[in-house]
């Protein structure tokens, strides 16, 4: 099914526990804080999760959804008490280690929209974000598009996350990160810089 054929599909709720059985027997490795990472991958789907002891607390499910072999987010959720700790950012960054580009889901909850806005406002220098046009198969750097055009209230945007791999791109993001740091007065040097933040205007997905 092509992306432009599924943009209008209605979101369905899926409890995070649905994925617990799938991931509980997968090999776990240390992630960050006291979380453990587990994943299951097959030919066209990739499940990534974070566990706190034996509880699945964050999930990212991506799958190939169009003819051009882009992976697209099918489902993502983080348990409320573990939000703002960088779980989504960690899982997305890990997924990008295996897949060049990942598209946002075709329906966005308030939580998902906040997560993407955070990735844009507080880049880590590891991920590039683009606005993707599924009809023309083109992408535009998100920094060239204003918020009110991305989230215009008329249609849900399709965003693309791409791993920063080239030295020039990395340097560009470092310069931009430093500019944002100076303007905001915040100090963040790690991928999960929002762990101890309590500011209402600051969300680390």
Tens of pLDDT, residues 64-111: 876 557 899 988 889 989 988 889 999 999 999 999 899 988 777 777
pLDDT in tens, 25-63: 899 999 998 999 999 998 889 999 999 989 999 999 999
User: Are 60 and 91 spatial neighbours (Cβ–Cβ below 8 Å)?
Assistant: yes
Lowest mean pLDDT among 40-44, 145-149, 165-169: 165-169
Percent of the chain with pLDDT over 70: 71
Between the two ends of the chain, the Cα-to-Cα distance in Å is 29
pLDDT score of 87: 93
* Token pair in block for residue 43: 């030919």
- CATH number assigned to the domain covering 3-184: 3.40.630.30
pLDDT score of 90: 93
* Token pair in block for residue 171: 């340097």
What residue spans define the domains of the chain? 3-184
- Cβ-in-10-Å burial (0-12, 13-18, 19+) of 120 comes to middle
Name the CA dihedral angle for 125, 133, 90, 56, rounded to a multiple of 10 degrees: 170
**Phi/psi at 141 (nearest 5 deg)?**
-55, 130
**Cα(53)–Cα(61) distance, rounded to whole angstroms?**
21
Among all chains, which residue has been given the structure tokens 């960054």? 93
Residue 119: which pLDDT band, with cuts at 50, 70 and 90?
A: confident
pLDDT score of 37: 97
Q: Select from 12, 8, 29, 28 the least CA-distant residue to 20.
A: 28
DSSP-assigned beta bridge partners for residue 133: 138
**Phi/psi at 11 (nearest 5 deg)?**
-65, 145
3-state SS, residue 136: coil
pTM of model > 0.85: no
């Amino acid at each position: 099914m092509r992306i432009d054929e599924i943009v209008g599909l209605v979101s369905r709720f899926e409890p995070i526990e649905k994925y617990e059985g799938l991931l509980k027997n997968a090999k776990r490795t240390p992630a960050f804080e006291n979380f453990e990472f587990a994943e299951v991958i097959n030919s066209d789907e990739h499940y990534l999760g974070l566990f706190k002891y034996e509880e699945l607390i964050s999930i990212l499910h991506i799958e190939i959804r169009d003819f051009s072999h882009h992976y697209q987010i099918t489902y993502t959720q983080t348990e409320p008490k573990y939000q703002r700790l960088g779980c989504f950012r960690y899982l997305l960054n890990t997924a990008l280690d295996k897949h060049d580009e990942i598209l946002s889901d075709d329906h966005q909850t308030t939580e998902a929209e906040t997560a993407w806005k955070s990735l844009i406002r507080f880049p880590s220098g590891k991920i590039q974000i683009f606005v993707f046009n599924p009809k023309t198969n083109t992408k535009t750097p998100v920094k060239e598009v204003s918020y009110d055009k991305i989230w215009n209230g008329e249609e849900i945007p399709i965003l693309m996350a791409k791993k920063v791999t080239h030295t020039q791109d990395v340097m560009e993001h470092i310069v931009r990160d430093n500019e944002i740091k100076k303007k905001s007065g915040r100090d963040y040097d790690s991928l999960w810089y929002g762990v101890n933040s309590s500011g209402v205007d600051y969300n680390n997905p």
